[in-house]
Amino acid sequence: MKRLPIDGLNHVTPPASPIVEATLELVRDVARRRFADYPGDWAGFAAEGADTLVTAADIEAVEGKLLASGHRFDWSASISAAERPEAYKPAAGAEDASDFSFEHPQAVIAPGDDAGREQRGVGDNVVRHEKNVIGTARYIRSNARVLAYLTDGVPPGTIAVIDDSGGTLTAPIIEQFTGVICAGGSVRSHLGILSREYGIPCLMNARVSGLRDGDRVEIEATAQAKTTEDYQTGTERIGRIWRLPAEDIR
């Protein structure tokens, strides 16, 4: 049986995220099957196969298998916590991913003000709004929660607290959010762009501590939006994040 050459699809690289590894293995399987039926050598297959021997239907089948196997959201649901474990901490008695809060070592916090608001962090404001936004913090970091929201709808007043700036995990439900707090990225990240297009108040690159799933929170959406030039010049522009008293229903 013919084997793929070492400079083809069998070279050894460090393990990537689950979705990348799953995708590569499925693509390798397609290449192996097509190469086994090819009458020539690898050089001929590589030159010809990209356009004729591996088809669009093959790639659609790979995508279908990934979705069916539950890999759709793996990367966004796991990669941030794996890369930055110091910024994540489980709540007492934590049993699932929603019980893990941000505990960013550079979080900007402050005691309660006259209205009882406790500042629990800051972030880069994506777009300036006329009013701050208030809602309920809900960590969106597990496949199960996204699938439940896809099925039943996102609860009204949800301020999504998200680990990853790519937007892959939450793209199907982002338009239902009241606001977004993201621990990574910038205002030019995919998630920042999506939230701006949908007109959703959003703070990116958030440095937050002590914000739990279910807390009532306020995002300073009225803060000046951070621009690309601000990043280039190192200009600091922040929007604050407050945890509100439980009885606050403004």
Residue 6 confidence (pLDDT): 45
Residues 23 and 123 in one domain: no
Residues 46 and 163 in one domain: no
| Cα(74)–Cα(249) distance, integer angstroms | 35
Q: Hey, what are 54's tokens?
A: 């591996």
142: Cβ contacts below 8 Å, ≥ 6 apart: 77, 96, 97, 98
Residue 244 confidence (pLDDT): 95
Residues 94 and 208 in one domain: yes
Residues 112 and 229 in one domain: yes
Burial class (CB in 10 A: 0-12, 13-18, 19+), 60: exposed
Per-residue pLDDT for the chain (250 aa), expressed as one digit of tens each?
Answer: 455 554 444 444 555 556 667 777 778 888 888 888 888 887 887 777 556 777 778 878 877 776 665 544 444 444 455 555 555 555 444 445 555 567 777 788 888 888 889 999 999 999 999 999 999 999 987 778 888 998 999 999 999 998 876 667 788 899 999 999 998 888 888 888 889 999 999 999 899 988 889 999 999 999 999 988 888 888 888 999 999 987 644 4
Residue 14 confidence (pLDDT): 52
Residues 111 and 54 in one domain: no
Residues 89 and 55 in one domain: no
Instruction: Give the residue numbers spanning the domain of 43.
Output: 18-69
Residue 88 confidence (pLDDT): 52
Is 197 domain-assigned? yes
Is 77 domain-assigned? no
| Cα(17)–Cα(151) distance, integer angstroms | 26
Residues 197 and 158 in one domain: yes
